[in-house]
Amino acid sequence: QALLSLLRGEPFGRGDSVIVYCTRRRDAERLAALIRTQFQEIPPRNLHPDAETSGKTSGKTSGKGKIPGFFSAAAYHAGLSARERRRVQRDFTNGRIRVLVATAAFGMGLDKSDVRGVVHYDAPRNFESYVQEIGRAGRDGIPARCHLFLEPEGRDLPELRRHVYGDSVDFWAVKKLIQRVFAPCKCRETRGKLRDAATVRSPFPTREKARICRGHERCVPIRETAEALDIREEGIETLLCYLELHPKNLLELLPPSDSRCRVRCSGGSRQLREAARSCPPLAVVLARDPSGTSGSMEFDVVSLSDSMGWESPWVKRSLRQLQRNSQKGGKNGLLVEFWEFSFRFRAYGDLSPEELDSACEFLHGRAFSREKSQLRQLRRCFRTFRSVAFQKFHPEPPEKEERERSCRLKELLREYFQRDPPGSDGSDDDEEEEEGEKNLGTAPPRAEDERIRADVRRLLAAHPEEKFSGRAVARIFHGIGSPRFPAWIYGRDRRFWRRHLPLEFRRLSRLATEEILAWR
């Protein structure tokens, strides 16, 4: 109701283009539907000429002042298809849509300078997002307005924390990823004896031994790895980027690509052997695996390239050229297919157990520091907005007081971006974190522990075939989907999904871990 009053009043009621940002996709759909029912008879004031003449619509109004093809509000979020997102953004740019209710997925590439207002229905997760989103208003130089709704006592913070914990990782998942990335190679067996002898005779006994392995091109399938480790694709890519920043330069990221290849020949083994004469990669595969006598071969392109000292892009070009040459020669029936999109990188394969443990500690430490930093920014955002917020909603607040609060917020934002925020090292926030959680109503009393444990046991009994971790259970209780436990499956069971959203995530994870160990 406050949002509807804001859109009807001044100055938002005069504006023809308003963006309303919210956190959840469901909220975007519901708010857009609600606004459409309340503003059906309000046509846009400056409908773009292209919108008036495109398709079957015209610039003439019909009915009670409505323009054909005009919608007062629409939703935009990542759950829509790419075609639908393009249509909504085009209609908003052309003036067909007056109020666009969107998640953070909207805004990049927006070519519209006359946005007159930006409303945050939910609090943003950090200052960077807030400044970026309000910066989309008033780009034409005409004054624009921004408004933020802030839940008293921070009741909207648990919803924002879901996005932080959705990308968090367990130590065991980091360890499994390290084992996949730095799989042992045979360089020490083939070249190690001479290198070890030279190192023993070195006049610098305290110097670290030179690495025998020169690095191998490797890959990890994106979908299979995400499901095995229960980490989103973006999270795996972030972890690999952190590994690339390791001080010992253990890894070099390469562009992702399809890692497996299938070659099919309708002419059988004879046509396959004939094609291998002009394609060295295919010849090597055929020599290693005689099973290709049936006229079909499947192999790992990256492994083949690394074993022969080739570059995988060259191997793929050779295989594609094989199919093009076959088509030019008038021969049919030779097909080359690539699949299994994978992250590609160059990594060492002779890491010692100590180096592997060090890499795990480094990677998990970076991921945990990022999580703490995002939570710290969220708390800082809430405290800043609360310090300048009106205690109650006023459709038309006193102009002088509004200007003073607005100037104060601008000054706080300027201070944040001009210097490091206090507690950026986490020293002061770590001490106040538990107390802050209690003040925001998210720390569960000890009396609630048994209720949480009972819910964990019921979840384990309902899914005996699943291998839950403590973090996975906490995600379900917070309504966070993951590759192994997707929302479209576990979100149907309201006994557990989002059941303990107001409670602190780490405590849920710890209690769930204890119950899982006792259950086993």
pLDDT, tens digit (0-9, with 9 covering 90-100), for 298-348: 899 999 999 998 999 999 999 998 888 777 655 567 889 999 999 999 999
Kindly give the interhelix angle for 353-388 and 171-181, rounded to the nearest 10 degrees.
Answer: 130
What does the pLDDT average to over 402-427? 79
In sequence order, which residues have a C-beta less than 8 Å from that of residue 495 and are 6 or more positions away?
455, 458, 462
What does the pLDDT average to over 408-432? 69
Cα 67 to Cα 7, 57, 62, 73, 95: the distances in Å are 20, 8, 6, 14, 11
- 295 occurs within a structural domain: yes
Judge if 112 and 180 occupy the same domain: no
Judge if 118 and 184 occupy the same domain: no
Judge if 10 and 99 occupy the same domain: yes
**Cβ-contact 96, 70 below 8 angstroms:** yes
Q: Specify the pLDDT at position 166.
A: 87
In sequence order, which residues have a C-beta less than 8 Å from that of residue 403 and are 6 or more positions away?
none
- 345 occurs within a structural domain: yes
Judge if 30 and 144 occupy the same domain: yes
- 390 occurs within a structural domain: no
Q: Where are the beta strands (DSSP E) in 126-228?
A: 145-148, 216-221
- The span from the CA of 69 to the CA of 53, in Å, is 11
Q: Domain containing 30: what range?
A: 1-44+70-149
- The span from the CA of 255 to the CA of 249, in Å, is 18
What does the pLDDT average to over 236-258? 94
Beta bridge partners of 148: 120
Domain count of the chain? 3
288 compared with 42, residue with greater pLDDT: 288
Judge if 223 and 137 occupy the same domain: no
pLDDT category at 431 given cuts 50, 70, 90 is very low
What the block records as the tokens of 320 is: 């594609």
Judge if 179 and 140 occupy the same domain: no
pLDDT category at 72 given cuts 50, 70, 90 is confident
- 514 occurs within a structural domain: yes
- The span from the CA of 12 to the CA of 5, in Å, is 10
Judge if 141 and 272 occupy the same domain: no
* Alpha-carbon torsion, ordered 253, 255, 256, 258, to 10 deg: -130
Domain end point (choices 338, 354, 370)? 354
What the block records as the tokens of 304 is: 């083949």
- The span from the CA of 486 to the CA of 490, in Å, is 6
- The span from the CA of 381 to the CA of 126, in Å, is 6
φ/ψ of 381, rounded to 5, equals -60, -50
- 374 occurs within a structural domain: no
What are the tens digits of pLDDT across the range 157-210? 888 888 889 888 989 999 999 999 999 988 877 765 545 544 444 333 433 456
pLDDT category at 435 given cuts 50, 70, 90 is very low
- 360 occurs within a structural domain: no
Judge if 135 and 221 occupy the same domain: no
Over the Cα atoms of the chain, what is R_g? 29
